[in-house]
Amino acid sequence: MEKLTTINALRFKLRETRPQGSIGFVPTMGALHEGHLSLIRQAKQECPTVVVSIFVNPTQFNDPTDLEKYPRTLERDLELCEEAGADFVFAPEVSEIYPYGFSTKIIVEGNLTRLLEGAFRPGHFDGVTTVVAKLFHIVQPDRAYFGEKDWQQLQVIRKMTSDLTLPIEIIGVPTIREADGLAMSSRNVRLSPEAREKAKVLPFLLKTAQDLLDSATPETQTDKGPVIAQWLTTLLESNAPDAKVDYIAVVDPETLISIDEITDTALVALAVHIGGVRLIDNRLIRRTP
């Protein structure tokens, strides 16, 4: 495995390996955990050459404190990348990606970036789409891997890729969870022991959403999105009264628009601050006919 820090050096290397078969790409912000590693492993199974980028992208942080506190563990990350099968790690400085005078933005407009995270993190997705498109141009991968934990981000990137006809297959990879169900996240290390304990309520809420849907009757109305969302909110309040909810929503998995009656599949998505750390998670729920 080789670590590269400049665009030119990476391009030069990839020019050699490209003829040997497809290139898989896993863009990350570092602080790698099992979730990232599952992306790298899947990429390695499907592509002879795997590139991982490690770049804490400042333009996607709407909150400067979040950017500052974002964990940075490059040496450990490099070891993990190598173990998971990466061939190249691209770890550029900010000035390599955003040189002086940089002034181009890629924006996906509409509900996909306006709803859920978009409502709470203004400009976040503009930062994501711009940096991901730039990384796509640098790496020119055949396939790119993203975690389903950031479900909305995955949809936004699919949309950008298809609108701009980027010749890249976008692959969503299921969320990896801790033993108690908490979704792996680089931000989890910032949870205090008590907050970490409390945080397990989030996967519990998501599991409960499926249980509620399974038990739907005309009386419970738990085949209605708003009814499930309200149940989950109440349940969170009783389990973690000091948690701050950004949203708990039952939405269409593709459009992210709130669903009233669940006839088939819905996405339960939530963003909750626990002990001062903002956590997001989601789960598809299915109605069994």
Catalytically active residues, by annotation:
36
Contact call for residue 20 and a copy of itself (CB under 8 A): no
Of 107 and 119, CB closest to a copy of itself = 107
**Of 51-59, 62-70, 126-134, 262-270, which segment contacts a copy of itself by CB under 8 A?**
126-134
CA distance 212 to 216: 6
SS3 178: coil
**Of 133-141, 211-219, 232-240, 272-280, which segment contacts a copy of itself by CB under 8 A?**
133-141
CA nearest to 261, candidates 289, 211, 226? 226
Contact call for residue 163 and a copy of itself (CB under 8 A): yes
**Of 37-45, 157-165, 170-178, 241-249, which segment contacts a copy of itself by CB under 8 A?**
157-165
CA distance 10 to 54: 13
CA distance 229 to 238: 14
- CA 32 vs CA 16, 107, 121: distances in Å: 27, 27, 23
One residue of 48, 110, 174, 276 binding a copy of itself per CB under 8 A: 110
One residue of 138, 236, 248, 271 binding a copy of itself per CB under 8 A: 138
Of 158 and 273, CB closest to a copy of itself = 158
CA distance 253 to 250: 9
Of 33 and 159, CB closest to a copy of itself = 159
**Residues 68 to 107 in contact with a copy of itself, rule: CB under 8 A:** 102-107
- CA 197 vs CA 28, 50, 240: distances in Å: 26, 36, 10
CA distance 266 to 62: 28
Count of residues binding a copy of itself (CB under 8 A)? 25
**Of 34-42, 131-139, 199-207, 242-250, which segment contacts a copy of itself by CB under 8 A?**
131-139
- CA 57 vs CA 2, 5, 102, 173: distances in Å: 21, 15, 14, 21
- Binding stretches for a copy of itself (CB under 8 A): 7, 11, 102-110, 112, 129, 133-134, 137-138, 140, 159-160, 163-167
